[in-house]
Amino acid sequence: MRIPKKKELLRLQTKYRTDKKIGEALGGVPAHLVAYWRKKKRIPACDLPKYGLKQIKALWETWGSDKQAAAQLAITPAAFYKWRQKYRIKEKPRILRFNQLQLNLFAESKPARSNYYQSLVEKIASLKLEQKGAMAGEKYRLEPNLVVLNSEWEKLIQACESLGVKRVKRVERVWAVLPAFGPSRDGSSELLQNIKGFLKQYQIKNQFSSREGDSLQVLWEKSLIPPLGLAVGPDRSIQAAGFIGCWGQNLDPSDLAQFLEEGKLNLEVPATLQIQLQGEISPAIFASDIYSFLRRQIEPGLLQDKMIELCGPALGQLSLSQRMALALLWTQAPIRGVLLEVDQLVRKNILSRLKKSVPLTSGDEQAVYFEKLEFDLTLLEPQVSYLPPVNKVVPIRQQKKKPVHQIILGAGFHGRLEELEVAARILSGRKIHPEVQLFIVPSSRAIFLSALKKGYIRALLEAGAIICDPGMANWENQLASSGPILTTGRLNSNHSDIFQPQEIIFANPATAAASALKGEITDPRDYL
């Protein structure tokens, strides 16, 4: 008889929950033997209810009948009754929803939708429309809560001139991120003047410089990203606003110009691919490891033009900064956007920042999804990704000791306070390898000041790190090496005469800090 490994038992337990059903899935293994395997592998019994209070209550309020509600879960009426008793739901709902009424007043009228189960993006669209029933594949006229102008300036200015845009509606919702051009770059001064003239012409007063840091991070620090709202902009990074449940949609400059004049735009609600994250996440795991692992496991065809909805117990273990990093990483994929559920952590943070209460919101279990995927992150270890032209991802234990001489910690995806703290903890009291240049790039000026106040910057400097401007807007002159570069963030340069790395290696912040000590790719778990 084959004894299943711990990973397989955890996966089966998540799916079937009881030892009896796990045994049946393994081909008729007795329940007591499954229990024995669990105890040997230190896997506790699953005591979570199969159906949650929220789900049972919603079905009861919708149908008001054990028989009809049970049919939605494919269980017996008696089983649904027991679940109601378990959660002490005894009273009949006062108002049954309209779709429960079987009135046929007009023979030619279309039947009402059988339910209002929705994905997270459908719920946000319904909130924007102030009505129920927004569906994937349908187009609706929506008004965004936030507009971010942070790229494609030349095309946007030209599109506004071509359309003859006279004024910008709801200009108070528009924020401009001014590019931080170096004084020696050809043509930069003229473009910057054109941008300032454009902002003055349309009276766009909300603006800040990209020298403040990564635009999404700065917007979050200014409490501008609307939870359960809609944000648009010309850059794909706006999609990462989904880390707090905000639908972020990037627009073509011509569509954006038309929207600036009209104040609303027609948006199609995309189909959703739900990814459930299960298991316990190791302290050595960061957003970049989760993203690299998921991209390696998911077929690219499933992602095309889909909304990615991330949920599950493992997501609740990630801090908001790691959720932001994870959402930013997903903007590299050919998707329509990424959304993370609004849980208790998001709710508390928004309440402290905005003094505003938002409901706990996630996609309904019975909603129609393009596909549902489930991944257990319990055994996930730090990942090392090789970017084009190599395109491969390997776990750190399978990675040979590859020398690296330039390492960048930050620059977009990472570089937030908790990551600088981890790097400082690894490097504190130690010296960086003499042949390694470690560049530290805080995500924003506020993070830089916080790290300075907490002593992280001092520890990094004493170890031999090089501290860069927030966001690292002008980094090409510093990275003139043609050798391999290990980075935790995006590296985009149009100056091939300056920046010509032979190889770009992508890893998490802890791996970057540990590798700086030895001058080769190193497992960070030895230092944490």
In 355-504, which residue ranges form alpha helices assigned H by DSSP? 417-427, 445-454, 456-463
Q: Kind of pairing, strands 504-506 and 383-386?
A: antiparallel
pLDDT, position 454? 95
Mapped onto helix, strand or coil, the DSSP state of residue 27 is coil
pLDDT, position 528? 81
Check if the beta carbon of residue 122 is closer than 8 Å to that of residue 247: no
pLDDT in tens, 195-205: 999 999 999 99
pLDDT in tens, 5-43: 888 888 787 777 788 888 888 888 888 888 888 888 888
Cα 367 to Cα 80, 115, 316, 372: the distances in Å are: 19, 9, 21, 11
Cα–Cα distance between 456 and 422 in angstroms, integer? 9
pLDDT at 101 over 90: no
Check if the beta carbon of residue 477 is closer than 8 Å to that of residue 457: no
Q: What is the mean pLDDT of the chain?
A: 84
- Which one, of 522, 506, 504, lies nearest residue 426 by Cα? 522
Eight-state DSSP code of residue 259? H
| pTM of the complete model | 0.76
Cα–Cα distance between 452 and 503 in angstroms, integer? 32
pLDDT, position 102? 39
pLDDT, position 418? 93
Using a 10 angstrom Cβ sphere, with 0-12 exposed, 13-18 middle and 19 or more buried, the burial of residue 77 is middle
pLDDT at 326 over 90: yes
What residues form DSSP beta bridges with 140? Answer: 267
Per-residue pLDDT, averaged over 88-92, amounts to 80
pLDDT, position 357? 82
- Picking from 45-49, 414-418, 444-448, which range would have the lowest pLDDT averaged per residue? 45-49
pLDDT, position 479? 63
Furthest-apart CA pair in the chain: how many Å?
83
Cα 314 to Cα 281, 323, 377: the distances in Å are: 7, 11, 7
Per-residue pLDDT, averaged over 187-197, amounts to 82
Cα–Cα distance between 185 and 189 in angstroms, integer? 8
Higher per-residue pLDDT: 35 or 323 = 323
Mapped onto helix, strand or coil, the DSSP state of residue 113 is coil
Per-residue pLDDT, averaged over 105-122, amounts to 59
pLDDT-derived band at 108, boundaries 50, 70, 90: very low
- Which one, of 277, 283, 279, 275, lies nearest residue 303 by Cα? 275
| Domains contained in the chain, CATH given | 6-40 (no CATH), 53-115 (no CATH), 140-268 (3.30.499.10), 272-376 (3.30.499.10), 387-526 (3.30.499.10)
pLDDT in tens, 368-381: 999 999 999 999 99
- Picking from 31-40, 201-210, 221-230, 238-247, which range would have the lowest pLDDT averaged per residue? 31-40
Q: Which two tokens stand for residue 501?
A: 């790395």
Per-residue pLDDT, averaged over 234-255, amounts to 94
How far is C-alpha 241 from the geometric centre of its chain's CA atoms? 8
